[in-house]
Amino acid sequence: MSPVNIPVLDLKPQYEQIKDEIQAAINRVLESGRFIMGPDVKLFEQEVADYLGVKHAIGVNSGTDALVIGLRAVGIGEGDEVITTPFSFFATAESISNVGATPVFADIDPNSFNIDPKEIRSKITSRTKAIMPVHLYGQPAAMAQIMEIAQEHGLKVIEDCAQSFGARYWGTCSSCDGRCQESTRESLRGKFTGTIGDVGAFSFFPSKNLGAYGDGGLVATNDDQVAEMARMLRVHGAKKKYHNEMLGYNSRLDTLQAAILRVKLPYIDQWNEGRRRVAQAYNDLLADVPGIITPELSKGHVFHQYTIRVLEGKRDKVKESLGEQGIGSMVYYPVPQDQLPVYQGQYPKLPMSDLLGTEVLSLPIWPELEKYTIDSIVKVIKQLLVVDK
């Protein structure tokens, strides 16, 4: 087979669709000269709040800052423990460490790749103050159980929604062991990720489902006090200019990015639906391939990544074969957060996240990815695994 060129992500087809609107939005900001906290920031915040059905949406400089500001806004700091997943991008644990708290890692469920509620229970101590679930790859975490554990123990919940903009929780968690109440599931059914816990932290990094053309992030909350604190923290800890009350950050959402995101927001459901179509096509084509576990197509999943498990130690071989044919793929994440050099020696290995780090492979996905391209990607995988068998 002759090499093709299929990147792991192509943002150009999306740009082509909305080019005129984007350029008009950028020009409007340039003409206004209001680059810092211009009108588009407030308008975007209101539009996101309306979309998510949440009381407050506060634009910040990145998803990482949204996590840090979210943690501080709910009062997490020195001496506190925050239970989180080992299987995420380092910004998750880093935010906890950066506010002076200690990340405590609870192992994951192999079907959803998300934190396993059973494991959370076993990690709770007198110092535990919060849980930070991550809706990894766009798949909502088991929020009914997580919220029940939080309520039982008086814990805050900060949702890392960097990969899950537009994902809804429907109460069908693969890691469910039946311990949550039907009434809890019912009360959360259909809610957007990021609107269930005390705080939702979103990223608008360009590759995200709702991506800016630079860095950007957002804190979502229904709590007036948390919102007020987050608004202060993003502008150096001041409610009133030059009357700083606490140490904060310079973490405003850039006006140009807000204007770009306002153009993109009305398309998000359509784009997420496109991602689900791609995931369905992959799942159908890969269903009978030996040695592969395809992801669940659960309701509400927005497939920021389409991630398979490649068993029997063949993941790197598959990645290499795809690469030889000019097809991009990525490993998110080869080293669980708890085993990164920054925390070396501090945490014992967690068996499931350790194993999945050797098996996961994310294949190309974007909303407009064509069926014939998916066919050619699957063909390479089949050639290797079906022949190899």
Ligand X SMILES: Cc1ncc(COP(=O)(O)O)c(C=O)c1O
Shortest reach from residue 215's CB to ligand X, in Å? 6
DSSP 8-state assignment for residue 246: S
Rule CB under 6 A: choose which of 44, 87, 89, 113 binds ligand X.
89
**Is 205 an interacting residue with respect to ligand X (CB under 6 A)?**
yes
Task: Name the residue number minimizing CB distance to ligand X.
Answer: 63
- Decide: 66 and 221 in contact? Cβ < 8 Å: no
**Is 160 an interacting residue with respect to ligand X (CB under 6 A)?**
yes
Question: Sign of dihedral through CA atoms 164, 169, 175, 179?
Answer: positive
A 10 A CB-CB count for 283 gives 15
List the one residue out of 388, 380, 379, 373 whose CA is nearest residue 311.
388
**Is 140 an interacting residue with respect to ligand X (CB under 6 A)?**
no
**Is 321 an interacting residue with respect to ligand X (CB under 6 A)?**
no
3-state secondary structure of 30: helix
Shortest reach from residue 201's CB to ligand X, in Å? 7
**Is 63 an interacting residue with respect to ligand X (CB under 6 A)?**
yes
The DSSP-derived string for 263-288 is HHGGGHHHHHHHHHHHHHHHHHHHTT
Cα distances from 179 to residues 120, 146, 147, 368, in angstroms, run 13, 11, 12, 39
**Is 92 an interacting residue with respect to ligand X (CB under 6 A)?**
yes
Rule CB under 6 A: choose which of 14, 64, 85, 362 binds ligand X.
64
Tell me, by CB under 6 A, how many residues bind ligand X.
Answer: 15
Binding mask 8-27 for ligand X (x = CB under 6 A): --------------------
Residues 360-379 that bind ligand X (CB under 6 A): none
Assigned token pair, 248: 């904060």
Q: Kindly report whether the peptide bond that precedes residue 333 is cis, defined as omega within 30 degrees of 0.
A: yes
**Is 91 an interacting residue with respect to ligand X (CB under 6 A)?**
yes
Rule CB under 6 A: choose which of 108, 132, 162, 212 binds ligand X.
162
Shortest reach from residue 321's CB to ligand X, in Å? 26
How far is CA 30 from its chain centroid? 31
Beta pairing partners, 336: none
- Decide: 149 and 117 in contact? Cβ < 8 Å: yes
Which residue, 62 or 321, is less far from ligand X as judged by CB?
A: 62
DSSP 8-state assignment for residue 327: B
Phi, psi angles (nearest 5°) of residue 13: -60, -35
Shortest reach from residue 239's CB to ligand X, in Å? 25
**Is 307 an interacting residue with respect to ligand X (CB under 6 A)?**
no
Rule CB under 6 A: choose which of 203, 251, 255, 362 binds ligand X.
203
Locate the DSSP E strands across 138-216.
Answer: 156-160, 168-169, 191-192, 199-203
Instruction: Compute the distance between CA of residue 48 and CA of residue 175 in angstroms, rounded to an integer.
Output: 30
**Is 357 an interacting residue with respect to ligand X (CB under 6 A)?**
no
Stretch in the footprint of ligand X (CB under 6 A) among 58-66, 76-84, 141-149, 288-296: 58-66
Rule CB under 6 A: choose which of 14, 45, 59, 62 binds ligand X.
62
Shortest reach from residue 92's CB to ligand X, in Å? 5
Which residue, 69 or 104, is less far from ligand X as judged by CB?
A: 69
Rule CB under 6 A: choose which of 145, 163, 221, 337 binds ligand X.
163
Query: Whose structure tokens read 């398979």?
Result: 308
**Is 257 an interacting residue with respect to ligand X (CB under 6 A)?**
no
Stretch in the footprint of ligand X (CB under 6 A) among 56-64, 123-131, 234-242, 284-292: 56-64
**Is 251 an interacting residue with respect to ligand X (CB under 6 A)?**
no
A 10 A CB-CB count for 378 gives 17
Instruction: Compute the distance between CA of residue 190 and CA of residue 187 in angstroms, rounded to an integer.
Output: 9
Shortest reach from residue 175's CB to ligand X, in Å? 18
Instruction: Compute the distance between CA of residue 156 and CA of residue 131 in angstroms, rounded to an integer.
Output: 6
> What are the residues binding ligand X (CB under 6 A)?
62-64, 88-89, 91-92, 134, 160, 162-163, 203, 205, 215, 217
